[in-house]
Amino acid sequence: MKEIKALTLDDVKRIAAAAEREALANGWAVSIAVCDAGGHALWLQRLDGAAPMSAMVAPEKARTCVLSGKPSRVYEEMVNNGRFAALKMPVVPLEGGEPIIVDGTVIGAVGVSGVKSGEDAQVARAGVAAVIALREGA
């Protein structure tokens, strides 16, 4: 059997705090979601001023990552490049979701929504980096 790492509540809080710092440092009102490897919600927060819809989109971006093992940007690029069949996939084809990969296995993901898609992804990557840095002893 394979041993798989799992996110702890402390990990999730660290991810959310780092993502929130990145968003606030840039003046971005976003929603931040973290899910486990099964796509189940572990965290959701909507910063002041973030659109209510962002709280629905952020968890779906995270879920997209654990379903596919890829950043949600991949599906946005598919659609933008004319592969409209991707719209029928059970994913949200919008940039802003980033998988958390440990030892080659997706153990969760961060989804962010509320600003431009590249900015959402920047906030999500800040959250992922916080937990990966901790694991690597940085």
Q: Residue 86's pLDDT is what? A: 85
Do the domain assignments include residue 3? Answer: no
Three-state DSSP class for 48? coil
Tell me how far CA of residue 3 lies from CA of 34, 40, 66, 102, 134, in angstroms.
Answer: 21, 20, 18, 11, 19
Do the domain assignments include residue 102? Answer: yes
At 1, the pLDDT band (50, 70, 90 cuts) reads confident
Do the domain assignments include residue 1? Answer: no
Q: Residue 38's pLDDT is what? A: 96
Q: Tokens 């093992």 sit at which residue?
A: 69
pLDDT digits 0-9 by tens, 91-123? 888 999 999 999 899 999 999 999 999 999 999
Average pLDDT over residues 37-44: 97
Q: Residue 137's pLDDT is what? A: 61
User: How many folded domains does the chain comprise?
Assistant: 1
Residue 44 pairs with which residues in a beta bridge?
33
Q: Residue 133's pLDDT is what? A: 79
Q: Which domain holds residue 45?
A: 9-135
Q: Tokens 């993901």 sit at which residue?
A: 109
Q: Read off the CATH number of the domain in which 108 is found.
A: 3.30.450.150
pLDDT digits 0-9 by tens, 46-96? 999 999 999 999 999 999 999 999 999 999 999 999 999 888 888 888 999
Do the domain assignments include residue 16? Answer: yes
Q: Residue 2's pLDDT is what? A: 83
Do the domain assignments include residue 2? Answer: no
Do the domain assignments include residue 74? Answer: yes
